[in-house]
Structure 1
Amino acid sequence: MTEPQDDVIGLIPAGGQATRLGRLPCSKELYPIGFQTDPARTPKVVSHYLLERLRVAGVRRVFIILRAGKWDIPAYFGEGAWLSMDLAYLLMGAPFGTPYTLDQAWPFVRHARVALGFPDILFEPVDVYASLLARQTRTGATVVLGLFPASRPRKCDLVDIDEHGRVRRIVVKPFATELRFTWMTAVWTPVFSEFMHHHLAARLSRQSTPSRELFIGDVIQAAIDDGLSVEAECFATGRALDIGTPDELGEAIAAYT
């Protein structure tokens, strides 16, 4: 396990309503997928995998940003001691998309590197964040994306990269594309946190109630257009599973049980 990365804070948006999965007895982030390694084979909730992968990279401090009512998440994970992590919780504000949810953490992460993870996505290999942080340290990129093969391109942000791993563009949920990889994880520096904070404020000043949901891919593309350095680490033999629909949930249960 990597030494603690004291300059890195994990950010996990958990504000979704999981409407595509129908009625669930718990928050989607706590849906059990597989089992822990303890003798009792305790069920393992889906977001536990993400926290493990952050911890493998030395990320110990994590903010989980909740929608009001999803109190079962802090009730389950608590302050994180049983995971050897320090967890804290924030409430989402503007309900206009994931970037606004993440921006709730701006006062707490503005001077830190950020490791972003989605709690309903399972991915391999386990050392993804270590690779992303190492690349960011080596190249000084503002943002480093973790790329995986896209099994459902129309539902993803597809990423166009050059031969050096520099991101040329992000294509959000394209109707048709020849691009093969989607991003599922990311790390970024305070430069991007500040860019996103001011970008979102400017959007709200122009339109207080946005006409459509804003995606993180939109903000990353805006950063590219503004000249920020965005790179990617490609995990061509890796795997990423989003449990957002019943079919995908079934795939994840089969793969991890």
Structure 2
Amino acid sequence: MATDVVGLVPAAGLGSRLAPIPFSKELFPVGFEPHPQHGEPRPKPVSQYLLEHMQRAGAGQAYLILRKGKWDIPNYYGDGSQLNLPLAYLIMQRPYGCPYTLDQAYTFVRRQRVVFGFPDILFEPQDAFEQLLQRQEQTNADVVLGCFQVTHPHKWDMVETGEGGDVKTILHKPAASNLTYGWAIASWGPRFTEFMHQHLQQVEGQLHTSGKELSVGEVVQAAILNGLKVQSVYFDKGSCLDVGTPQDLQKAIHTLS
């Protein structure tokens, strides 16, 4: 494992699109895996797929940022030894969207490379994070977005790129768009971590007044406007599925069961 790569997993959501369920949505069973002791199939929680991607990419540790009360997640994963991925848990403090959840780990990850994904999005290929890290090294980009072809632009942050894979614009869940690729995973370096930390402090007052929440894609777009280099990897033969809605969760269960 590479000690300079860490995983960031936002797990502070309320799971309102699937409510009511009797546990955190990150632990919803999707598919099966062999039991480590007797080999019989056992249910596999949806967030484990993301953690396994991070472990394969060489992450030395992953941080899961929780909302108070979601203690079933650390109770299930513990220290991460079952995944061969050391896990640590932080508590979300500021309710202004996913970037603020991630910023809770700022002190711990500010000098490291980050691999990031959403715990309720399943994606392929298996080496997706490795490809992002490789592109980051090749281009010296501050951020690399993993982009997938999606059929419902209004559910995704859509990505417009130029020659060489540079990301020009990110449109946050547009009502209509001619763009066909949305981003679902990312890797980034210390420069973006620092930018996000400072940017969130600057806009927090506006969000508090308006009651709006900020998305990670909107922070990346702000980084582009401030001169940070954002690259992309297009997974034309890959797939991604947001299982945070009943319809797509049913599709995932059918596919993996």
- Give distance in 1, aligned partners of 2:159 and 2:2: 28
Shift in Å, 1:60: 2.9
The answer on whether the counterparts of 1:147 and 1:234 sit within 8 Å (CA) in structure 2 is yes
Letter aligned with residue 3 of structure 2? D
Residues 1:9 and 2:25 are matched in the alignment? no
Match of 2:15 in 1: 18
Match of 1:31 in 2: 28
Unpaired segments of 5 or more residues in structure 1?
none
Deviation per CA, 1:53-109, whole angstroms, max 9, x where unpaired?
111111130000000010000000000011111100000011110000000000000
- Give distance in 2, aligned partners of 1:160 and 1:207: 26
Residues 1:197 and 2:194 are matched in the alignment? no
SS of equivalent residue, structure 1 residue 7:
strand
Percent identity over the alignment? 49
TM-score normalised according to structure 2 size: 0.96
Match of 1:181 in 2: 181
Where do residues 236-247 of structure 1 align in structure 2 (5 Å cutoff)?
236-247=236-247
- Give distance in 1, aligned partners of 2:112 and 2:238: 28
Match of 2:56 in 1: 56
- Give distance in 2, aligned partners of 1:249 and 1:61: 28
TM-score normalised according to structure 1 size: 0.96
Distance 1:210-1:7 versus aligned 2 partners, 3 A rule: farther
Unpaired segments of 5 or more residues in structure 2?
none
Where do residues 35-114 of structure 1 align in structure 2 (5 Å cutoff)?
35-38=32-35, 39-114=39-114
Count of aligned pairs between the two proteins:
254
SS of equivalent residue, structure 2 residue 148:
strand
Task: Give the superposed CA RMSD.
Answer: 1.1
- Give distance in 2, aligned partners of 1:50 and 1:162: 29
Letter aligned with residue 26 of structure 1? F
Deviation per CA, 1:165-205, whole angstroms, max 9, x where unpaired?
10000000101111010100000000000000000001125
Letter aligned with residue 191 of structure 2? V
The answer on whether the counterparts of 1:204 and 1:210 sit within 8 Å (CA) in structure 2 is no
The answer on whether the counterparts of 1:123 and 1:239 sit within 8 Å (CA) in structure 2 is yes
Residues 1:249 and 2:249 are matched in the alignment? yes
Where do residues 77-226 of structure 1 align in structure 2 (5 Å cutoff)?
77-205=77-205, 208-226=208-226
